[in-house]
Homo-oligomer: A and B are copies of this chain.
Amino acid sequence: MKKEELVAQIKLKKTFLCVGLDPDVDKMPKYILDEEDPIFEFNREIIDATAEYCIGFKPNNAFYEAYGLSGVESLEKTIKYIKLNYPAHFLIADAKRGDIGNTSTMYAKAYFKRLEADAITVAPYMGSDSVKPFLAFENKWAIILGLTSNEGSADFQQLKVGNEELYLNVIRTCASWGTDQNMMFVVGATKAQMLDDIRKIIPDHFLLVPGVGAQGGSLEEVCKYGMNKDIGLIVNASRNIIYAGNGKDFAKKAAEEAKKIADQMKPFLNGKVSA
């Protein structure tokens, strides 16, 4: 997907929500476990119910690999279902891959060519030759882990390297390998100063922001300091949407929750999109 297409979708639908597809059979409605492929059925209902409130979907590989072959099959079916039925949605494989050059190339082919994902999340620790192979595919995206939202982000990402934190160095350096047309960054920052510092380095790149939905208030900070002229934000919410309910009406509950977040986004889009 081209950047201009993604921006157009956000403006058209007045939402920059991405729904994270992290299926966990322990949290699904019990009745769905009787289906032949419960994970795919669960996802399909979530996707159909939430598609109008979001501009992207993000399956997290771990939740599929945990179920072995059948899980990987559910993942492939899910991705194909989205590509076929919702081709305008931005499809992120949240795989956090990154390996030496020829191995990263194998991953890039797997996700971009065979599965036709639009984007893959990439761990930067191994440096340039682990990241660059993901930049060699037209209209495909590497989404680099910049500053993650978990507690452990303090351990290394926030270490001082010279006068700045490592994550700023990682973002600056990685940005020099690509463009705002083939690279985005995972930015879990909800602190204004952090977003401000990041936007000074990459004013034009899209940021993938996890974990905002659950904490309501932080959406305001993220928009105030993270939004740019192209919106430049994809905000992901997973569990608070997909497990909003766990009865027969779980998809309806998920849609309500997605709509709620999308509605919260609208005021921040005022002036950026036509009414």
Contacts and interface: CB of A to CB of B under 8 A. Distances in A.
A125 interface: yes
Contact of A159 (B69, B76, B169): B169
Given A96-B98, A126-B153, A106 B173 contact: no
Contacts of A103: 22, 60, 62-63
A161 interface: yes
B126 A124 contact: no
B155 A173 contact: yes
Copies of this subunit: 2
A169 B60 CA distance: 29
Interface stretch (A38-46, A144-152, A266-274): A144-152
A257 interface: no
A99 B20 CA distance: 14
Interface residues of A, number: 54
12 contacts: A60-B99, A62-B104, A62-B107, A67-B110, A69-B72, A69-B76, A96-B123, A123-B126, A129-B150, A159-B166, A160-B161, A160-B162
A-B complex: 8 closest residue pairs judged by Cβ atoms:
A127-B152, A127-B155, A62-B106, A66-B106, A128-B152, A129-B152, A100-B150, A62-B103
